[in-house]
Structure 1
Amino acid sequence: MYEIRVDRANELIEVTLGEMMSLDEVSNYITELKRQITFYELSSYALIIDVTHCPVQAQDMIRSMGQHMATMPKARALAVVTESALARMQVRRLFTQPYARITAAIPEGRAWVLHGIEPATR
């Protein structure tokens, strides 16, 4: 399950992921994310991915997500939101870009992607 919201004025995409994702859902999610970037003509977008309600995912899904994410247009900043220590470990392996941060809450993620304010270290 996923939900994508676009704030065109700030060139910000906010995604909420939930539940276990199948390989087909990963493919559909990335396809839809790319479609939204094109549709809204986001040339320099920021991305917040909220995985707060997402359990730790299967390794094949993580591999698939990594392969699909490699095809995405580069974001100017990325925040992944989770409080789970296990999810943080999985997210760190998936998002290694220098402009990516893990945050504990959405406001902290927005502060990073919109204003460059570093999140608290956990």
Structure 2
Amino acid sequence: MIEVYIDGASKGDPGLSGAGIFFKNVQEDSKFKIPLGNMNNHEAEFQALIHALKIAKERNYSILSIRTDSQAVDQAISKQFAKREPYKSLLVEALKLMEQFDLCFVKWIPAKENRVADQLAREAIHLNK
């Protein structure tokens, strides 16, 4: 099982945003900083999940335990429901990607346990052009 720590960050609401992704206990490059352009923090959190799933699929990982400090993402995934756009579309995309794995689940963790992904997301904001 691959542990994946994800986080999204925004400088403003909306504002320049970034995603941080950390794959724990893998041999390949495992830290990603992804600039996301202009969006709000919740969108950035969903985008971090989507990007993590795409990277995991490219690397042929089959079992994922995804850790997030975003209660919005955790609850949307567990309930398979988001009330309004753009979250509905992002949730649908994430759920479709999750179906491609043998086992894939999202678990909420406190922010203090997600420091690596948080730092990567903050650094990713500065990569926006």
Compute the TM-score of the two structures, normalised by the length of structure 1.
Answer: 0.41
**Greater RCO (Cα-Cα under 8 Å, separation 6 or more):** 2
Structure number with the higher strand fraction is 2
